[in-house]
């Protein structure tokens, strides 16, 4: 039992995070303050929410490269119409963004399931369609004057303490929502029939079908879910940045996937945990925040990220090879 925990992906990530934190705080003691930790979580909340959706897709053995495009479209549509119709209600906005995101994601799921095309091709195609049309329709114009109530998501602070300047510091509502959703997703994946069917689909689609899981519903659900997660993340993005830029999230999809993979999810499906994903996101957050605090040029951030990705997939692969070897040995003995 004990050795199992130490060998687990989550423990490894946690150890890495602690190691980096200690290193960084030697150079800059500010790193270990509550204020910095809260900021760090806030700036990676968007990536965190994206990653929950992506985890589900990867678990099912699928792939999604269109979620940032979905997020951009949802964000623009919601904010544009909420300004035009002078609706200032964040709850309605949340429902709207979840619904529009779900619709756009459903299109992916529909094509992938009914036409049996690799998810990566379909989502690249829908990615270019969504982004292309978004630019054509909006001319790339930015939106300001965000409805006031949207800032509730990023300005509400929970678990507040006073810092040395007397200002209130606390975890922002969006971060709390992210962590709550992560908890919910954990129970969904491990305790519900639908959740298990997603993992089964990723493990072996044919066996999953024979056992009697409804693969059509599962596939459609997964891509719809990613879409709505993307929609929700985009609302938090606008709440934090207070402006809508049509290309602000384009190109970050690979970073999200990297974070999920770093968290131990396999791209071939069937393996991955919510805790691992959150720790993967956290590791990215610590890295980027730490490099800023250590005054390392931002140019090196990407190189470092790449090295971390390669190291983590290598460790994963080595563990896999080891596991396979031990499996073979068992078979021989029998």
Partner 1 sequence: MEQQKRMPRIIRENQILLIVMVLVFFLMSALNGQRFFALDNIASMAYQLPILGCLAMGMMVAMLSGGINLAIIATANFNGIVIALVLQQIMGPENMAAAPLSVSLLAIAIAFVFSMLVGVINGLFISLLKIPDILVTLGTMTIIAGLNVALTSGYTISGFPKEILALGNGHLFGIPSSLLIFIFGCAVCSLLLNRTQFGSSLYMMGSNPKAARFSNINIVKVSVQQYMLSSFFAVLTSLVMIGQLNSVKASYADSYLLVSILAGFLGNVNPFGGFGKVCGMVISVIILQFISSGLNLMSVDSFMITAMWGMIIVVVVVIKGSWPKIAQVLKEKKTQQG
Residue for token digits 């399931």?
113
CA–CA distance, 51 with 182 (Å, rounded to integer): 10
Q: Which of 73, 257, 275, 281 binds partner 1 (CB under 8 A)?
A: 257
- Does position 305 bind partner 1 by CB under 8 A? yes
Find the binding residues for partner 1 in span 130-159 (CB under 8 A).
Answer: 131-136
- Does position 328 bind partner 1 by CB under 8 A? no
- Element holding 203 (H helix, E strand): helix 193-203
CA–CA distance, 84 with 143 (Å, rounded to integer): 11
Count residues binding partner 1 (CB under 8 A): 49
Burial class of 26 by CB neighbour count within 10 A (0 to 12, 13 to 18, 19+): exposed
Q: Which of 83, 103, 120, 143 binds partner 1 (CB under 8 A)?
A: 120
Determine the interface stretch with partner 1 among 38-46, 151-159, 194-202, 312-320 (rule: CB under 8 A): 312-320
Q: In the complex, what is the shortest distance from the CB of residue 246 to partner 1, in angstroms, rounded to a whole number?
A: 10
- Does position 309 bind partner 1 by CB under 8 A? yes
CA–CA distance, 66 with 162 (Å, rounded to integer): 41
Of the pair 105, 195, the CB lying nearest partner 1 is at 105
Quick note: the x/- pattern for partner 1 over 47-76, rule CB under 8 A, is ------------------x-----------
- Does position 302 bind partner 1 by CB under 8 A? yes
Contact 112, 101 (CB under 8 A): no
From 171, 218, 245, 226, select the one nearest 50 (Cα to Cα).
226
Of the pair 190, 268, the CB lying nearest partner 1 is at 268
For residue 89, what are its two tokens? 């209600």
Burial 32-53 (b: 16+ CB within 10 A, else e): eeeebbbebbbebbbbbbbbbb
Phi, psi of 145 (to 5 degrees): 50, 50
Q: In the complex, what is the shortest distance from the CB of residue 86 to partner 1, in angstroms, rounded to a whole number?
A: 29
Residues composing the chain: 334
Determine the interface stretch with partner 1 among 21-29, 160-168, 183-191, 315-323 (rule: CB under 8 A): 315-323
Of the pair 19, 121, the CB lying nearest partner 1 is at 121
- Does position 251 bind partner 1 by CB under 8 A? yes
CA–CA distance, 67 with 251 (Å, rounded to integer): 10
Q: In the complex, what is the shortest distance from the CB of residue 177 to partner 1, in angstroms, rounded to a whole number?
A: 28
Distances (CA, A) of 288 to 125, 283, 293, 300: 31, 9, 9, 10
- Does position 184 bind partner 1 by CB under 8 A? no
Q: Which of 299, 326, 330, 331 binds partner 1 (CB under 8 A)?
A: 299
Of the pair 6, 115, the CB lying nearest partner 1 is at 115
Q: Give the binding site for partner 1 (CB under 8 A).
A: 65, 111, 114-118, 120-122, 124-129, 131-136, 251, 254, 257-258, 261, 266-268, 297, 299-307, 309-310, 313-314, 316-318, 320-321
């Amino acid at each position: 039992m004990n050795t199992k925990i130490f060998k687990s992906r989550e423990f490894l990530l946690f150890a890495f995070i602690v190691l980096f934190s200690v290193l960084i705080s030697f150079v800059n003691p500010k790193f270990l303050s509550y204020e910095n930790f809260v900021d760090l979580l806030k700036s990676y909340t968007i990536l965190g929410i994206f990653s929950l959706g992506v985890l589900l897709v990867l678990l099912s053995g699928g792939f999604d490269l269109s979620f940032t495009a979905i997020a951009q479209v949802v964000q623009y549509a919601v904010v544009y119409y909420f300004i035009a119709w002078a609706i200032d209600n964040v709850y309605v906005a949340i429902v709207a963004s979840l619904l529009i995101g779900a619709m756009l994601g459903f299109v992916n799921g529909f094509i992938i399931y009914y036409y049996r095309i690799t998810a990566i091709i379909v989502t690249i195609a829908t990615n270019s369609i969504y982004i292309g049309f978004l630019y054509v329709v909006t001319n790339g114009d930015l939106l300001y004057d965000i409805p006031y109530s949207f800032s509730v998501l990023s300005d509400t602070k929970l678990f507040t303490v006073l810092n040395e300047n007397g200002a209130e510091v606390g975890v922002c509502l969006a971060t709390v929502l992210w962590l709550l959703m992560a908890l919910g997703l954990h129970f969904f994946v491990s305790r519900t029939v639908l959740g298990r069917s997603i993992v089964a689909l990723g493990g072996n689609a044919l066996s999953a079908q024979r056992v009697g899981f409804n693969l059509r519903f599962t596939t459609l659900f997964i891509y719809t879910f990613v879409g709505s997660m993307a929609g929700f993340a985009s609302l938090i993005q606008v709440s934090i940045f207070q402006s809508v830029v049509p290309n602000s999230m384009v190109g970050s999809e690979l970073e999200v996937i990297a974070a999920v993979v770093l968290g131990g999810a396999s791209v071939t499906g069937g393996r991955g945990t919510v805790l691992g994903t959150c720790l993967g996101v956290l590791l990215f957050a610590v890295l980027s925040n730490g490099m800023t605090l250590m005054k390392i040029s931002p140019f090196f951030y990407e190189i470092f990220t790449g090295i971390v990705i390669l190291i983590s997939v290598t460790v994963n692969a080595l563990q896999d090879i080891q596991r396979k070897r031990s499996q073979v040995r068992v078979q021989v003995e029998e």
